[in-house]
C-alpha cells in the first residue's frame, strides 16, 4: 500500500479491527449469520466453498467478476479461515 494512503483514520480503523478480532473470535459462532463485504480485486468463486459467496458486484471496466490478481480471492480465504460460516459479498473495484 502506498504510505501516503495511510491516513490517521485508516490507521485507527485498522488498529480497532485488530483489537476487536479476538473479541469477535471469542463469540464462538464462526461468523454464522454474518455477511462480510470484501472490497478488492474480485473473487474467483470456484476457489471458495460453494455457499460462501452471496453475490459479486464488478465496478470495473472488466465486468467479468474475475480476480485477475488473486488478491481478493486470497482475502476471502483469509476471512473464511477466521469465520468459516460467514458469507462474502464481493465488490471488485480494481483489477
- Are the beta carbons of 93 and 62 closer than 8 angstroms? no
Which residues, other chains included, contact 36 with Cβ-Cβ below 8 Å and sequence gap of 6+? 79, 83, 86, 87, 88, 89
Give the CA distances from residue 36 to residues 4, 20, 23, 88, in Å, rounded to whole numbers and listed in that order.
27, 15, 17, 5
Give pLDDT, residue 18: 52
The residue-averaged pLDDT of 30-35 equals: 84
Q: What residues are paired with 40 via a beta bridge?
A: 92
Q: What is the pLDDT of residue 37?
A: 87
- Taking only the tens place, the pLDDT of each residue in 78-92 is 888 888 988 899 999
Closest CA to 51 of 66, 32, 38, 71: 32
Spatial contact of 40 and 91, defined as CB atoms under 8 Å apart: yes
pLDDT confidence of residue 14: 46
pLDDT, one tens digit per residue, over 34-85 is 888 888 899 999 999 999 999 999 999 999 999 999 989 998 998 888 889 8
Verdict on whether the full-model pTM lies above 0.95: no
Amino acid at each position: 500500500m502506498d504510505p501516503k494512503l495511510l491516513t490517521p483514520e485508516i490507521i485507527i480503523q485498522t488498529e480497532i479491527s485488530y483489537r476487536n478480532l479476538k473479541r469477535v473470535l471469542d463469540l464462538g459462532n464462526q461468523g454464522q449469520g454474518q455477511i462480510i463485504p470484501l472490497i478488492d480485486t474480485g473473487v474467483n468463486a470456484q476457489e471458495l466453498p460453494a455457499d460462501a459467496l452471496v453475490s459479486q458486484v464488478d465496478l470495473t471496466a472488466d465486468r467479468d467478476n474475475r480476480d485477475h490478481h488473486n488478491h481478493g480471492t486470497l482475502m476471502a480465504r483469509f476471512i473464511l479461515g477466521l469465520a468459516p460460516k460467514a458469507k462474502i459479498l464481493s465488490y471488485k473495484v480494481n483489477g
